[in-house]
Structure formats: structure tokens, C-alpha cells
Amino acid sequence: MMAVVPTTAPPESVPRSRGRRARITPARVLFFALFLGLPMLIYVVFVVSPFVQAFYYSLTDWRGLARAPQFIGLDNYITLFHDDVFRRALRNNMIFMIVLPTVTITLAFILAILVTVGGDSRGTIRGIRGATIFRVVSFFPYVIPAVVVGILFAFIYSPNGGLLNGLLNLVGLDIHIAWLGDRRFALAAIVAAVVWSLVGFYMVLFVAAIKSIPSEVVEAARIDGAGRFRLSVAVILPMVRENVSTAAVYMGIMALDMFVYINVMTPNGGLGKSTEVVSRYLYQTAFSDSRFGLASAMGVVMALITMLMAVIVLFGTRQKGER
């Protein structure tokens, strides 16, 4: 009996066809020009170019009016790090960058847990009673402009008839503290105002992230006996890690600014520059002292710190998620 010889070669022996080069057509060129070239051009013109220009001016003694500023190299950077006010302002920004994201994100996550899975542990998963109303009301402070928040809390912290001192007097504490004029309390008072204005927004952000978690995962954890705390920390938090890292980056960028809050609540950087931040000091150096070269050096330093902070947060979160 003759063996049947296959008429087709096995798949391994079939030569792979080489990919054809994409044809360059007017439609393809127009597509890349609109959706790649135009955004790239806008980014270079409005983001990269100003940063390069600021770096160039930071190497000069430009005072805002001279047509040909003199190149002085790194003298502005040397001046900065010998400036006590700049070092104090940078320290305050670092304090804000650590404290603000930590407090705001922690409170926002706790509130998000309460309004999503913090209700009765029996039956269906739900938040505390009145969670919908609480979620709407807590978002209201975020829609108030930062200037208004600063003015509002400046009145609250006023030593003469301020709401905070009045409440302390009602409970029997006869004290009159100038909260924004006392170096011991000024930074903490500003942090409290910022947290009050932002915690509702990040709570809503975390609520949306928690709602996207499959209910089967939460149900399985509850069946396994996980309580609310363990459910929040061991199940929900790892699944919303990307949202937390994004919130931390945004909060960190804001903490490295803080111009509006400081300028409204403690004009001129507070008593003895105790609440000074780099952004307000930069504004004063440029537009009051006409030292635009030195102010540009401050901007470059803050831009580098901001990028470093974002890389550390995002890279650290990604590495932890991979492990």
C-alpha cells in the first residue's frame, strides 16, 4: 500500500511573508500631521520652549528691561542656596509636599470607604446611611475658588472675633491665638484650610475608583471573613493604587505651588517669612525687585523638584504594584 504524500508543506516550512511597507498617502500624511504633529508642535511651543527660555535667563543677570542680559553662569543658583529666605521657602514647600498629600489622601480614602462599603455588613454592600447626600455636600468646598477659601479662613483664624477662637471660648478655653501670625500654628492652619477645600474632590475620585472594582471581589473577601478595615487596606487599596498615585502627584504639584493660599492668608510670607513659599518669593523677586534672572533660577529649581517628585511617586507605585 503506497503512502499518501501530503501535497502541502507543514506550517513550519511555509515561508513567512514579509510585511509590506505602508504606502504614504495624502490621507495618512494628514492624519499624522493633525494627530501627532500638531499636538507635538503645541507642546514644544508652549511647554518646552518656555522652560528652555527660563533656563537661559537663569544663567543671566536679566532685570526684565535689558535687551542683552549679561551671561553670569551659575551665579544665580549659588545666590539662591546662600539665601536664607529661599531655603526657608523651599523647606516650607517640602513640608507641604509631605503633609498635604498624606493628610488629604488619607481622609479622602477613609470617607470614600464610608460612603461605598462602610454601611451595614449584612446583606448587599452599601455605604453609610445618607451617603449620597454626604458625597454631594462634601464636594462643595472644591468649587469655591482658592482666593475665597483663603479669605474665608483668614476671617476664621482672626484673633479678634474669629470663629475658631469664638468656638474655643464657648467650650471654656479663654484663649486668643493669632493662628496665622504665630509661627507655631501658621503652617498647620494653612494646611487645614487646603485640606478642607480639596478632600471632597479626592473623595469623589476614590469613590469612582472603588465603584469600578468588581463586586465579586468584595463579596469574596467578606465571605472569607475580612472586616471593614482589612477589606479596605488589603483588597480595595491595592486595586485603586493607580488612582492614589495620580492623586499624590497632583497634590504634590499643588504643594510645590501654594501661591494663592499663602499670598491671601499670610501676605508677604507671614511673620518673619515663617510661611513663605518659593512661588510667592519668586513673584516678589521678579516683579517687585526686578531680578528676573534670579527668579528664573527659582523656577528651574522648582520644575526639577516637581519632575523628580512625579517620577518617584509613579515609579515607586509601579514597582510596588509589580511585586
Task: Please report whether residue 224 resides in a domain.
Answer: yes
Tell whether the torsion through CA atoms of 105, 107, 110 and 111 is positive or negative.
Answer: negative
Q: 272: which DSSP letter?
A: G
Task: Please report whether residue 12 resides in a domain.
Answer: no
Task: Please report whether residue 146 resides in a domain.
Answer: yes
Which runs of consecutive H residues, i.e. helices, occur in the chain?
26-32, 38-43, 49-57, 75-80, 84-116, 131-143, 146-156, 163-170, 186-211, 215-223, 228-230, 237-239, 241-255, 259-265, 278-287, 292-322
* Between 103 and 34, the higher pLDDT residue: 103
Task: Please report whether residue 301 resides in a domain.
Answer: yes
Q: Give the three-class secondary structure for 153.
A: helix
Task: Please report whether residue 22 resides in a domain.
Answer: no
Task: Please report whether residue 43 resides in a domain.
Answer: no
Per-residue pLDDT tens for 239-290?
898 899 999 999 999 999 999 999 999 988 888 889 999 999 999 999 998 8
Number of structural domains the chain divides into = 1
* pLDDT for residue 140 is more than 80: yes
**Model pTM score:** 0.83
> Which CATH number fits the domain that encloses residue 149?
1.10.3720.10
Q: Which three cell numbers stand for residue 103?
A: 493628610
Task: Please report whether residue 31 resides in a domain.
Answer: no
CA-CA distance, 119 to 128, in Å (whole number)? 4
**DSSP-assigned beta bridge partners for residue 39:** none
CA-CA distance, 111 to 319, in Å (whole number)? 27
Domain, as residue range, for 162? 83-322
Task: Please report whether residue 58 resides in a domain.
Answer: no
Per-residue pLDDT tens for 106-139?
999 999 988 887 766 565 566 777 777 877 788 8
